[in-house]
Amino acid sequence: MALSVGIVGLPNSGKTTLFKALTRTGASVPGRENVGMATIPDERLVPVAAVENAKKITPAALRVIGVPGTGAQLLGNLRQVDALLVVLDTWSGARNPDDDLITLQLELLIADRDHVERRLERVRKQAKSGDPQQRAEVVQLEAVLAHLEAERPLSEWPGELPSGLEPLTTKPLIEVRNGPGGLDAKLEAELAELPEEEAAAFREGAAGAVGEIARRLFEAVDLISFFTAAENETRAWPLRRGQTALDAAATIHTDIARGFIRCEVIRWNDLTEAGSRAEVVKRGQQRLEGKNYVVEDGDVLNIRFNV
Residues at the contact surface with ligand GTP, assessed by CB under 6 A: 9, 11-17, 68, 91, 178-179, 184-186
Contact yes or no for 122/28 (Cβ under 8 A): no
178 sits near Mg ion (criterion: CB under 5 A): no
| DSSP secondary structure, 182-219, as one string | SB-HHHHHHHTTS-HHHHHHHHTT--HHHHHHHHHHHH
> Closest by alpha carbon to 87, among 34, 15, 169?
15
Query: Whole-number minimum distance, CB 178 to Mg ion, in Å?
Result: 12
228 sits near Mg ion (criterion: CB under 5 A): no
Give 9 or 59: the residue with its C-beta nearer to Mg ion: 9
Query: Whole-number minimum distance, CB 67 to ligand GTP, in Å?
Result: 9
Give 73 or 276: the residue with its C-beta nearer to ligand GTP: 73
169 sits near Mg ion (criterion: CB under 5 A): no
Dihedral (C-alpha) 69, 74, 76, 80: value to the nearest 10 degrees?
Answer: -80
225 sits near Mg ion (criterion: CB under 5 A): no
Give me the 6-45 binding string for Mg ion, x by CB under 5 A, dash otherwise: ---------xx-----------------------------
Q: Which residues pair with 66 in a beta bridge?
A: 7, 34
Query: Whole-number minimum distance, CB 68 to Mg ion, in Å?
Result: 5
What is the Cα–Cα distance from 217 to 61, expressed in whole angstroms?
12
Helices (H), 208-258: 208-221, 245-252, 254-258
Query: Whole-number minimum distance, CB 192 to ligand GTP, in Å?
Result: 13
Count the residues in the chain: 307
- Tally of CB atoms within 10 A around 287: 12
Query: Whole-number minimum distance, CB 102 to ligand GTP, in Å?
Result: 18
Question: Which of Mg ion, ligand GTP, none sits in contact with 185, Cβ below 5 to 8 A by type?
Answer: ligand GTP
* Residues at the site binding Mg ion, with contacts judged by CB under 5 A: 15-16
